[in-house]
Amino acid sequence: MTQSPSRSSNPASWHPGATEREGLWIFTRIRDVVDGIANSSPARLALTTFGVVILIFTALLSLPASSATGDVTPIHQALFTAVSAVCVTGLTVVSTAVHWSFFGQLIILIAIFVGGLGTLTLASLLALMVSKKLGVRGKLIAQEAMNNAGRLGEVGTLLRIVILTSITIEGVLAVFLVPRFLALNEGFGLAAWHGVFYAISAFNNAGFTPHSDGIVPYETDLWILIPLMVGVFLGSLGFPVVMGLHQSGLRWKTWSLHTKLTIQVSLILLAAGTVLWGLLEWNNVRTIGTMSLGDKVTHSLFASVMTRSGGFNLVDQNQMDTATMLLTDALMFAGGGSASTAGGIKVTTIAVMFLAIVAEARGDADVKIYGRTIPEGTMRVAISVIVAGATLVSVSSLLLLQISGATLDRVLFEAISAFATCGLSTNLSAELPPAGVYILTALMFAGRVGTVTLAAALALRQRRQLYHYPEERPIIG
């Protein structure tokens, strides 16, 4: 009988320490690969990292222990939920409260926290953990993701600040929410779980809820609604803005241009969204038409905050007027701040394009604001982000129309919500066949990592040219 090779039968090929050296060799190879990608193509490292994280959470959600019934969750549902959580979207094809067990909900919550850190932050952390250092290009891409908040050698410290900032804000939100759930006659364990879940979901603009009927039962409870709105708004500003406010306080003159534009445009969109949403739905008896004045104002403000990526809803999105759905589409597409937990094309992109239009209308050669000139390269990146986002939404909507047979307003709403990682839904996601689910899955991934990575990559790919071709202007308009 032939014996299978073993450690004892071939002592010449094995001795104590061989396994350790083999493990060290594998780790070294992984470190070299990660370090090489981080230095040569940080954007590719960011995409790869996010993809691996999604696959890990997909595998965990596919386990029987993750479902409430103990059954294996179909791959398209597990993948969709993992992408929705890691991309902090909030769209679902199964009920978070009903389908998933406590273990499954915990996995979703961890995925939200990890995904909320952002693609470039995760890639930088991976490079730090594996190779113990960031290359120069890796530091540049991480610094660009945080709007150059600090010197190049401080990137590692800034990454730790990002994580600590997330934990601190989420902890403060939980401190306000947990006592309220206790006052609503929930047990301490359940109240703590709900408070922490909503705190993490709100700050990361995820929109996941552990209740089967969402937050509709709390539609008049300001003790719950206000912390949710504050958490979503802070998360939508972005880590560079939050850190800038922490360092400079409320002194306007000390704020960076990025901070000024982000806060100013965010407040404009918040105010405009509140007024327009309220006016359009004021007499709609299917939503807020029969409510008191105070409740109408609360719903309008809440809707304006959540349409910019929060994803929590107090009214059925299918019951809104068509004009309100179009307004919501526009606000979702706009999104929040750069390097934030919000999605969309980002408010600074909108600001740059608006300023460029104003400069062109005035005949100015430069785009100027607050005593600063915006480089032409920044405007090219803004155009790229807008065109890429519009193209992704258009192509996905066309495919979903063919697959689902649903009306254009519902399909466009769902597609923009997925791309903008908002999470508001007309329930089309749950009605789609697997093919449609995969399209929305790809759209969420592209919306979360595509425009951000594209902007960061383009910012570092400007090359010096030793020559220029003669200029010739084509007819525009």
The pLDDT tens digits of the residues spanning 212-261 come to 898 999 999 999 999 999 999 999 998 788 877 877 777 888 888 989 99
Beta bridge partners of 374: 367
Q: What is the reported pLDDT for 270?
A: 96
Amino acid letter at 177? L
Token code pair at residue 460: 């570092």
Q: What is the reported pLDDT for 391?
A: 92
Burial of 33 (0-12, 13-18, 19+ CB in 10 A): middle
Q: What is the reported pLDDT for 129?
A: 47
How confident is the chain (477 residues) per 10-residue block, as mean pLDDT?
A: 44 49 50 50 69 91 95 95 94 94 96 80 54 51 50 56 86 96 93 96 93 91 96 89 79 88 95 96 95 95 93 94 96 89 90 93 89 88 89 95 94 96 93 95 88 54 69 77
Q: What is the reported pLDDT for 343?
A: 86
| Rounded Cα–Cα distance for residues 64 and 73 (Å) | 7
Burial of 212 (0-12, 13-18, 19+ CB in 10 A): exposed
Q: Where are the chain's structural domains?
A: 21-459
Q: What is the reported pLDDT for 170?
A: 94
